Amino acid sequence: MTPVAHESGKSRPSSTAAVCKVGLVGFGTVGSAVARLLCARSDELHLRITHIFARNPQRRKVDWMTGDVCWTDNFDAVLASDVEVIVELIGGLEPAHDWVRRALQAGKSVVTANKQLIAHRGSELLELARAQKKHLAFGACVAGGVPVLAGLHEGLAGDRLVKVCGILNGTCNYILTRIEQSGSTFGDALEEAQAAGFAEADASEDVDGFDARAKLVVLARVGLNAAVAPQQVLCRSIRELSHVDFDYARELGCTIRQVARAEVHGGTLFAAVEPTVVPQNSRLASASGSHNLVVSTGEFGGDTVFAGHGAGGNPTAVAVVSDLLYMVRHRSGGIAEPDRPEASPYEVSHDFETPHYLRFVVKDEPGIIAGLAGVLSRHRINIDAVFQRPGHQLASLPFVITLEACTTSRAEAALAEMNQFAFLVQPPLRMPILR
């Protein structure tokens, strides 16, 4: 595609450029938004949907699509057509993995928003795309309409990135923001998120960290060139958090977010997704509601921040169509040359060295602090501070101990030993404190 200059200073596609035929697989929230966007910009973009795969296609048909589009519930019909690019938006691992693999083998390029697919099968599919001289684009996999993957891959290609961290799940961020602002319980905040359409009926993928973990794996691959499997990354839930944790975090000048982070140190990739205490002046603390935010750190360029709406049909559709346009611009004779380097294998660890927040709920009695301090001393861990807010019942008394920097493994070993104490009303809660 050759851009031509106009008096407005903008670059528009040449009117003689060949139209790229697109097969859309999936017509849910994102799929329909992609179709609407392409219809709305049909006079500007040389992209035309010719086939749409959808379950119950007769019920899915819409009057705003052109009448020459082939609607089908048979993927093989899309595969056998003359479409150049297949856009996969059904989600999940299967049959998405099989269909994307077959599409590449059949000589089609692929655009996907499927984070689980890229996290679990990305290396295999990228190798296949490279062998077939086809393109596999997945910019919509992380942070929806925020162009973080393109920014890391292209905009920061001159730097050597050593760290990526961020708020990658809008559902979790919405829930935590509501607990902080309204004093809701986790259960009430989750129900509110479900009623508002931010959370599924089964929100386990979100609140237990699996959604953010898949996105972190993709970020690590693109930003840090690190080959890591999702099951190698520590994943911890936000279910145990309560409003009292935000009260204590506020005393520390902090708030709480579900933070996904990956850092390279030597030959080790440190990676985890977990609730984290973050300073109020941190960029991560500024992400509220359902917004996403990613901070990359380069050896030469320092920090770069990407932020915006991380979910929803329209923002994700923008990312999908941007991938389509990138693919069309870089094709040569119909072929887009893959240009992503092969990821490097790393030893993977979650043993960050960091300060820690420990929240206890106890039945008040003499000697509690002495007992806990004794355990910490045996594990060579220093106490930074002790906080106890007034106004709680002595039979269920929450208080917090913050620790000086130590490895996660030492903090967890100390907590395992503390669990023997009879004065504990519930197991202690540990969170890293981001510096």
Residues labelled as active-site residues: 215
Q: Say how far apart CA 62 and CA 59 lie, in whole Å.
A: 9
The sign of the torsion formed by the CA atoms of 359, 363, 368, 371 equals negative
What angle, rounded to 10 degrees, do the helices at 96-105 and 115-132 form?
10
Q: Say how far apart CA 218 and CA 138 lie, in whole Å.
A: 9
Q: Say how far apart CA 220 and CA 225 lie, in whole Å.
A: 6
Contacts of 225 (CB under 8 A, 6+ apart): 341, 343, 344
What angle, rounded to 10 degrees, do the helices at 115-132 and 210-223 form?
30
Contacts of 416 (CB under 8 A, 6+ apart): none
> C-alpha distances in angstroms, 402 versus 10, 107, 377, 432?
55, 57, 14, 10
Residue 140 has, within 13 A of its CA and on its CB side, a CA count of 28
Say which amino acid occupies 192. Answer: E
Q: Say how far apart CA 147 and CA 162 lie, in whole Å.
A: 19
Geometric angle at alpha carbon 100, from 114 and 335, rounded to 5°: 105
**Residue (of 330, 367, 352, 334) closest to 21 by Cα position:** 334
User: Cβ distance 427 to 396 under 8 Å?
Assistant: no
Burial classification of residue 342, based on how many CB atoms lie within 10 Å of its CB (0-12 exposed, 13-18 middle, 19 or more buried): exposed
**Residue (of 244, 278, 241) closest to 259 by Cα position:** 278
> C-alpha distances in angstroms, 46 versus 3, 16, 22, 150, 348?
12, 10, 10, 21, 43
Geometric angle at alpha carbon 259, from 91 and 174, rounded to 5°: 70
